[in-house]
């Protein structure tokens, strides 16, 4: 036994097997004797199927592999080993000559050529496919491994430039395609026949088929027909839903999967090719008007402006720069995560490119197909981990108990019939009848009825469901994760006002920075220049915060055209200037045209925003002035630390705390006049540390991230129901914490502790730092420590959220380090963590899995493609968008706010309780009928066909299908004072029909006129 993907999320154990003739003969004989039941059993249990037909062997010689996941689900899979013939053993082997490579199953995969009159001998390589990933045999490791892409070869950034800039020759491209396959995220839509076979081979349908055949043999056609009718409807509905999901996912992925691209072939040769032909190492040219990226590629020449909303959920154009080719950065090993600011990810939209005149924007392909970021997202949708749900697990255990009871009745009937010399045919039919009576075939249809009614009520309030079985799971949700942008809040931030500072003191706040008295101030000049905005097709585009800040000034931004860049200088600056009407008319009348003051400012150099440094800066020159200025903006504490202390107002800390406690996002501005000897070219080579020092503080910008009207009320309702709420966003930490406070997820008296983790570097081990968000600078100076008892959080589960007075906030980077280097802390940390910022799509999914591992029943509410994996993995995923997210999400809401969440939980709790009641009702009916028939058998008697029909149809089916029906006319989920909800009324009827006390409070449901209560353990 070997371990594959060790330490990764999809870690698996693998065993090798080869076919065994005598075992196959025995299985064939057993299948014939059992009427095919043995084959079904081996189909349901893959490990039995492999062990029953094969013998154990080494992985190298294996024909069939048995795989088992190492997670809590311990899933079994079988895979067939294939063979390819290739001139090398690994995709990045240096081949001195092109080769002939042909797959064992027939297709020609590469061209053949001669080199110095010799041809290279092909190598036979074993491989298998599992969950859209190919694994190849490695003789050195004596195990199978997957090839992700160019990063498999540990290389520096500089070597990517030197070794891959020319591109790949056609022969080497064909060779690599042997291992990586076509660059395509292929979502195969199964045929209806394939889906039908998978559906009808479900154990319940096989049991129903057995029951129908038995009843038909006894001429009990009426009930058999009813069961067949219900089964056909159930199968047809299920097939339609599954097929629709596959088609939607296929259409979403295939929309931009195949495009024509320009590929470099050695010495400046460029050829047109289909994107499906790309392999890692190819060099593609990004057109000036942009494109949808068909692969993951790293920029080596030029700059791109990219919309990464497909990955991050934030529709903010991001500037991607070329990978460093020289200096310290170039010597560092290339890493996708560390150098993602240079990587164009598959599925993202390159809006615009920037380049020097006569040069092309080039990128080296790093990953293709399912190895890309988008491919991994689609894989998580196609092959989700199973969702464990206690009701279903216990229901199956109870059914096994019923099967045991039926077995006792089966043996009793046979013995009794033999003793009374009953004919053999009658013995067989009556003994098998006991089994169909004890385990009712109508049970799945009866339990589904309540779910169908709940689905209809959900549709009435604008919630559509593509996975009805998940409705029951909504009834036990005790934690809901929310995306931020577009889910809890409106898109972007709004400017509340500005507060300038002069001579070490704050002036009164101003609502409008565009007013005439501020136009010619350093503060407004800083607002107008310190940003990363660009013009795309004449429209300003960039970070929403920068957009709001710049538009508030009323200034105009102008960028050099391609012709100007070619004629003058490759580094033409972006220019900003105030609108012409900003100059007072009285002054215009008294001045000649040449004397009018010019406020045009050119942005000479930009130091982009760094989440680590929490600041950005620019170097500018005003038209007509000889010296340059540096403008800085960033987190207030960081900016204040970089300023001369006498320029920072004494009331800085108090003013900042006043704004942050109100939930505002505060940004500080500073400036500095640079030395006159600094020339244009010297500035281009200066480091930011030399620029961003000895600054002068000039004021604060106060922004507010408006939350949706419904958000605070819904979160309060969930809190009162003891349902924990968590924010999981791709946005930055400060904004996320501000929104969490504003919407009530973190209350005013509760502290937020940022848990930051740093990976090992330069012989320093990985470390974790903790600090309060409230005035961390002061905390550092006083060397205060944050006292955290994580053990109590785990050991004492009686501690409620109301008793907690602190919350953790974690970034995606810190979460990755904690998962890898401090796995023992992750579960303890997430018990108190409320804000997760800068989370990548796969990290959102991983967080959901961690929460599920500590016995939370998790809901996820989001609206972007970046939420797809988490929406699919959660017990209940709710999409607020009808686009990409709805493909993966079991529930889609037509209202774009989170008010759908309480409605869904209410209906889930109603459906859960009614399903449980129906299960008890059907089980009780089965036991009663089992005892009745067993007693009648003892006197050689039985119920007549019409007696069975009356019991099964008139009494059982009618009650089972109406026990969960809502007869009331009021809208679902609406509670009136002193009146029970329709869901509660329905369950009171259920309790009455079962003989329970209708006045007793039902488990897991709110009382009349009360908010949602905690979910009781139902099973």
Q: What angle do CA 657, 810, 474 make, to 5 degrees?
A: 110
What are the DSSP calls for 652-712, one per residue? HHHHHHHHHHTT-EEEEEEEEEPPTT--HHHHHH--HHHHSSSBEEEEEEEEE-PBPTTHH
Give the Å distances, CA to CA, from 750 to 67, 245, 726, 807. 47, 43, 15, 7
Which segments of 746-853 are extended strands (E)? 751-758, 767-772, 806-811, 833-837
Give the Å distances, CA to CA, from 263 to 151, 346, 362, 363, 372. 20, 17, 9, 10, 19
Q: Round to whole Å and give the CA distance between 47 and 15.
A: 10
CA nearest to 843, candidates 863, 817, 825: 817
Q: Round to whole Å and give the CA distance between 111 and 175.
A: 9
For residues 635 and 734, is the Cβ–Cβ distance under 8 A?
yes
Residues whose CB is less than 8 angstroms from the CB of residue 954 and which lie 6 or more positions away in sequence, other chains included: none
Instruction: Work out the burial of residue 485: count CB atoms within 10 Å of its CB; fewer than 13 is exposed, 13-18 middle, 19 or more buried.
Output: buried
β-bridge partners, 669: 633, 699
Question: Quick count: other Cβ atoms within 10 Å of Cβ 156?
Answer: 16
For residues 256 and 292, is the Cβ–Cβ distance under 8 A?
yes
What's the half-sphere exposure (Cβ side, CA atoms, 13 Å) at 311?
23
Buried b (16+ CB within 10 A) or exposed e, 946-984: eebbebbeeebbebbbebbebeeeeebbebeeeebbbbb
For residues 778 and 653, is the Cβ–Cβ distance under 8 A?
yes
Q: Round to whole Å and give the CA distance between 216 and 218.
A: 5
What's the half-sphere exposure (Cβ side, CA atoms, 13 Å) at 646?
1
Largest CA distance in the chain: 126
Which candidate in 483, 546, 742, 756 is catalytic? 483
For residues 256 and 159, is the Cβ–Cβ distance under 8 A?
no
Give the Å distances, CA to CA, from 999 to 83, 924, 985, 987, 1005. 69, 22, 11, 11, 13
Q: Round to whole Å and give the CA distance between 910 and 471.
A: 9
Helix (H) or strand (E) holding 492: none
Q: How far is CA 541 from the centre of its chain?
A: 26
For residues 768 and 819, is the Cβ–Cβ distance under 8 A?
no
- DSSP assignment, residue 341? G
Helix/strand/coil for 156: strand
Helix (H) or strand (E) holding 387: none
β-bridge partners, 535: 540
Report the sign of the C-alpha dihedral through residues 706, 708, 710, 711, in that order.
negative
What are the DSSP calls for 542-567, one per residue? S-HHHHHHHHHHT-EEE---HHHHHH
Q: 483 an active-site residue?
A: yes
Q: Which two tokens stand for residue 19?
A: 């076919």
The backbone torsions φ and ψ at residue 432, rounded to the nearest 5 degrees and listed phi first, read -70, -30
Q: Round to whole Å and give the CA distance between 827 and 846.
A: 12
The set of catalytic residues is: 483
């Amino acid at each position: 036994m070997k371990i594959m993907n060790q330490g990764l999320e999809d870690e698996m154990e693998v065993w090798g097997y080869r076919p065994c003739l005598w075992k196959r003969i025995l299985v064939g004989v057993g299948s014939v004797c059992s009427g095919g039941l043995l084959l079904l059993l081996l189909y349901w249990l893959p490990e039995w199927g492999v062990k029953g037909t094969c013998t154990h062997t080494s992985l190298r010689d294996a024909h069939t592999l048995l795989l088992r996941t190492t997670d809590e689900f311990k899933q079994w899979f079988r895979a067939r080993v294939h063979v390819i013939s290739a001139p090398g053993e690994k995709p990045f082997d240096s081949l001195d000559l092109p080769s002939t490579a042909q797959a064992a199953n027939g297709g020609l995969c590469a061209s053949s050529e001669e080199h110095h009159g010799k041809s290279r001998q092909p190598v036979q390589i074993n491989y298998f496919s599992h969950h859209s990933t190919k694994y190849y045999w490695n003789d050195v490791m004596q195990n199978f491994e997957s090839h992700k892409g160019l990063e498999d070869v540990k290389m520096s950034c500089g070597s990517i430039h030197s070794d891959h800039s020319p591109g790949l020759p056609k022969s080497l491209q064909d060779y690599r395609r042997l291992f990586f396959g076509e660059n395509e995220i292929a979502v195969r839509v199964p045929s209806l026949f394939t889906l039908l076979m998978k559906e009808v081979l479900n154990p319940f349908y096989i049991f129903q088929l057995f029951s129908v055949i038995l009843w038909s043999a006894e001429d009990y056609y009426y009930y058999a027909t009813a069961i067949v009718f219900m089964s056909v409807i159930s199968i047809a509905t299920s097939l339609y839903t599954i097929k629709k999901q596959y088609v939607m996912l296929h259409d979403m992925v295939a929309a931009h999967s195949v495009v024509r691209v320009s590929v470099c072939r050695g010495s400046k040769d460029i050829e047109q090719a289909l994107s499906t032909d790309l392999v890692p190492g190819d060099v593609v040219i990004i057109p000036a008007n942009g494109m949808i990226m068909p692969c993951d590629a790293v920029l080596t020449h030029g700059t791109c402006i990219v919309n990464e909303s497909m990955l991050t959920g934030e529709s903010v154009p991001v500037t991607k720069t070329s990978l460093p080719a020289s200096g310290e950065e170039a010597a560092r090993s290339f890493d996708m995560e560390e150098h993602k600011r240079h990587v164009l990810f598959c599925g993202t939209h390159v809006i615009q490119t920037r380049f020097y005149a006569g040069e092309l924007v080039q990128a080296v392909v790093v990953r293709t197909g399912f190895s890309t970021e988008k491919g991994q997202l689609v894989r998580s949708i196609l092959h989700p981990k199973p969702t464990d749900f206690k009701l279903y697990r216990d229901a199956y255990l109870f059914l096994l108990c019923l099967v045991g009871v039926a077995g006792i009745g089966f043996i009793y009937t046979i013995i009794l019939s033999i003793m009374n010399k009953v004919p053999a045919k009658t013995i067989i039919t009556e003994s098998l009848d006991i089994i169909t009576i004890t385990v009712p075939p109508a049970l799945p249809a009866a339990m589904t009825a309540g779910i169908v009614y709940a689905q209809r009520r959900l549709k009435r309030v604008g919630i559509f469901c593509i996975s009805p079985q998940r409705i029951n799971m909504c009834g036990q949700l005790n934690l809901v994760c929310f995306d931020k942008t577009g889910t809890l809040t409106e898109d972007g931030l709004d400017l509340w006002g500005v507060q300038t500072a002069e001579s070490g003191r704050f002036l009164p706040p101003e609502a409008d920075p565009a007013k005439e008295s501020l136009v010619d101030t350093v503060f407004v000049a800083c607002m107008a220049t310190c940003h990363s905005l660009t013009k795309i097709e004449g429209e300003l585009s960039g970070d929403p915060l920068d957009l709001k800040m710049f538009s508030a000034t009323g200034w105009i931004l102008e960028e050099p055209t391609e012709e100007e860049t070619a004629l003058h200088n490759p580094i033409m600056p972006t220019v900003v200037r105030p609108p012409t009407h900003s100059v007072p008319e009285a002054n215009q009348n008294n001045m000649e045209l040449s004397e009018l003051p010019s406020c045009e400012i050119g942005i000479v150099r930009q130091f982009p925003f760094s989440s680590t440094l929490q600041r950005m800066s620019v170097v500018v020159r005003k038209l007509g002035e000889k010296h340059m200025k540096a403008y800085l903006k960033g987190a207030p504490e960081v900016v204040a630390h970089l300023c001369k202390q006498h320029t920072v107002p004494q009331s800085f800390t108090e003013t900042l705390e006043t704004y942050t406690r109100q939930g505002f996002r505060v940004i500080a501005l500073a400036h500095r006049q640079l030395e006159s000897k600094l020339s244009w070219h010297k500035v281009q080579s200066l480091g930011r540390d030399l620029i961003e020092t000895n600054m002068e503080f000039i004021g604060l910008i106060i922004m507010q991230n408006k939350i949706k009207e419904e958000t605070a009320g819904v979160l309060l309702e969930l809190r009162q129901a003891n349902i924990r709420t968590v924010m999981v966003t791709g946005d930055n930490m400060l904004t996320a914490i501000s929104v969490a406070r504003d919407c009530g997820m973190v209350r005013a008296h509760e502290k937020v502790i940022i848990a930051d983790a740093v990976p090992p570097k330069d012989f320093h081990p990985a470390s974790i730092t903790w600090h309060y968000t409230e005035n961390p600078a002061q905390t550092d100076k006083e060397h205060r420590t944050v006292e955290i008892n994580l053990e109590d959080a785990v050991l004492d589960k009686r501690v409620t959220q109301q008793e907690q007075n602190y919350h953790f906030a974690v970034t995606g980077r810190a979460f990755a380090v904690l998962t890898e280097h401090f796995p023992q802390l992750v579960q303890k940390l997430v018990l108190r963590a409320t804000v997760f910022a800068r989370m990548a799509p796969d990290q959102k999914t991983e967080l959901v899995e961690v929460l599920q591992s500590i016995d939370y029943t998790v809901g996820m509410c989001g609206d972007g493609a970046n939420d797809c994996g988490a929406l699919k993995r959660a017990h209940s995923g709710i999409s607020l968008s009808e686009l990409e997210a709805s493909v993966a999400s079991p529930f889609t809401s037509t209202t774009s706010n989170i008010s759908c969440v309480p409605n869904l939980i209410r209906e889930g709790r109603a459906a859960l309780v009614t399903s449980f009641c129906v299960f008890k009702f059907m089980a009780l009916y089965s036991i009663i009928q089992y005892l009745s028939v067993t007693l009648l058998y003892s006197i050689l008697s039985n119920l007549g066909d019409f007696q069975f029909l009356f019991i099964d149809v008139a009494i059982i089916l009618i009650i089972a299908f109406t026990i969960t029906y809502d007869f009331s006319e009021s809208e679902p989920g609406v509670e009136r004072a002193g009146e029970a909800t329709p869901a509660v009324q329905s369950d009171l009827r259920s309790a009455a029909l079962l003989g329970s006390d209708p006045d007793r409070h039902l488990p897991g449901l709110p009382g009349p006129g009360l908010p949602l209560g905690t979910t009781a353990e139902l099973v």
